[in-house]
Amino acid sequence: MQTKTTRLLPAFFLTLLFFGISFFTAYGLGSLNPALILVLISLLWIVYKQLGVHLFSLEFDFQTIACLFFSALFALTLATGTRIQFTHVSASYKETSITTFSFFQVLVFLSTFIYCLLMLRFIIKILPDLTSYFTSNKAKPRSIWKYFLFFTSILLISWLPYALALYPGVVLPDSLSSIGQALGDAPLNNHHPILFTLIVQFFIDVLPISTINHGVFLFSMMQSLITALSISYSLCWLMKKKVPLIPIMISLGYFSLSPVFPIYVLNMQKDTLFSVACLLFSLTLFDIISQKDKPTFSLQVRLLILALLTTYLRNNGLYVVLGTGVVYGLISIKRKSYQAFVPIVLTYILLISLVIHPLMARYITPTQSAEQLGIPLQQVSRTLVMDGTMSEHDKEFMNQLLPLESYEVYAPSLADPIKWHKQFNNEFLNKHKKEFLMLWARNLPSNIQIYTDAYILDTFGFWIPNVKNSYGFLDTRVNTNSYGIKQADLIARYTGNSGMERIIAQRNFFGSGTLLWWVLFSLLLAVIIRNKKTIVLLLPGLLVFLTIMIATPVAFSLRYVFILALALPIYLIAPFLLEKNNETIGDSYEATEKN
């Protein structure tokens, strides 16, 4: 016998399909169509009313408030996106602009808000069935090792054509900076983490290789193997949590067929290894928090090593680990369980403060302050070119940093024209960093609109869904260099015809903003189900996003938030990682059953 929820599924997926088509076509053309969304709302409302479901009868309980907040935030994001007139990443402020809110944006906001709220209300209706599916797995225990080897083999075989077609790998400007430091052509600095540079040095300088191309290729193979093993571990980790096999196999298809993964494992940049470390750090922390007894010594050591790798494979990793550590500490205090927390934290602090940082301070050139102040520089620069309010004293300070007439190079979606300008005085900023931050702060109240617009235009590619740009997206080239690194399609060379050229040319993937909203949707489900442990699992990835939002130099770059792509299957399944008969399940649906 069909339940009411089961009978609702066709209507739900039909309207979801209509909305998806209208959203991706209309928004892809540069604007949303509020009239079309309102029509879909009316159809959805009529269908649900015929089925006896009153989705507009809101009761202001915890679930409803969470859905209202999510819907409003999503609608505001889409409405804001329609205000942006974007041309290209390095375009001047006269080409890339942002309009004020108009009646059109109000329509977009209201229509999207109502539709999103309706969809969420329906999803809440089917949550018990979804949770039951994930928590009622009665399958016999599987041979994890066999699956682990199977997953790894499938991934490596699927990625191999890319490795052969893009031999020896993907080498971009940041890659060349690391190579230059590794070969002694430039002083060591932590702009590109020293740990990553040492790894690069091992493959291109320490190993007995005949050409640097072979070293770059060996690095690509190492990164491919580590990433494949880590993904396989994450899928087996889900199996141990008794997740059904179908979602796991769908996840395997996602990792095998999406071009982002074979391209990123060939990319000689810090982001791939950092994201792998961050993913494993998230899983290990979740395992420790989920255990009622004291975690094993090996598990604690694993968490410590992964915390250090996350910290030193990219500069914002320190803040990711510290933020996660604070939450872990609060959980430990609430549970009055310090057996694992205290030794891990103390060892981490001692290693950083007494060993690693003193060595880095002795041998490494400090990073320029401009790298840490990208967004404040953009906001103050916009204030100058848009004739905002600024005292003559502050203008004189900014003139010492860069001649006032040179701020005309300001590009709203890229900080490089300012911070890499030939007349930009990095030494002055390094010495007067505190004074610059004070200047930024005191000009904020009188230029709040300019600062806000500057922030939106410098970050919007990371948080507005369905917005993409080729900058830092799926790069497959080897930049011109003096090291003799050249790219070659080995398949075409030895067979006469590759076919990979056309496949690589068609590469595509989600934008950073789309990935973010999938993660936020998962967070919403975790809040509704009241699965608090899931928030810890999502936390490192969200902290990566937040730290990028503080200091991003460009409005688009998937590699900065690659962790969101790498952990996406884990994130989407995470809210349903509940034990059978968990009291949280009953609590989470108390309000749902009332409806």
Cα–Cα distance between 329 and 144 in angstroms, integer? 32
What pLDDT is stored for residue 130 in this prediction? Answer: 78
Is residue 318 classed exposed, middle or buried when 0-12, 13-18 and 19+ CB atoms within 10 A define those classes? middle
CB 443 within 8 A of CB 380: yes
CA distance 328 to 594: 34
Q: Is 182 exposed, middle or buried (0-12, 13-18, 19+ CB in 10 A)?
A: buried
Q: What three-state secondary structure class fits 98?
A: strand
**What pLDDT, in 10s, does the model give residues 101-130?**
888 888 888 878 877 887 787 788 778 877
- Tell me which amino acid residue 402 is: L
Domain ranges of the chain: 6-136, 144-316+473-576, 369-458
**pLDDT at position 189:** 83
CB neighbours (10 Å) of residue 447? 20
> Would you give the DSSP letter of residue 85?
E
Angle between helices 212-240 and 245-257 (to 10 degrees): 170
Cβ-based neighbour number of residue 249 at 10 Å: 13
Cα gap 172→62, rounded to integer Å: 48
Per-residue pLDDT tens for 30-74? 345 666 666 666 766 666 666 565 555 566 778 888 999 999 999
What is residue 479's predicted lDDT score, i.e. its pLDDT?
Answer: 95
pLDDT in the model for residue 132: 80
Residues (pLDDT < 70) of the chain are 1-41, 43-59, 137-142, 363, 366-369, 579-595
**Residue 454 near residue 382, CB atoms below 8 Å:** yes
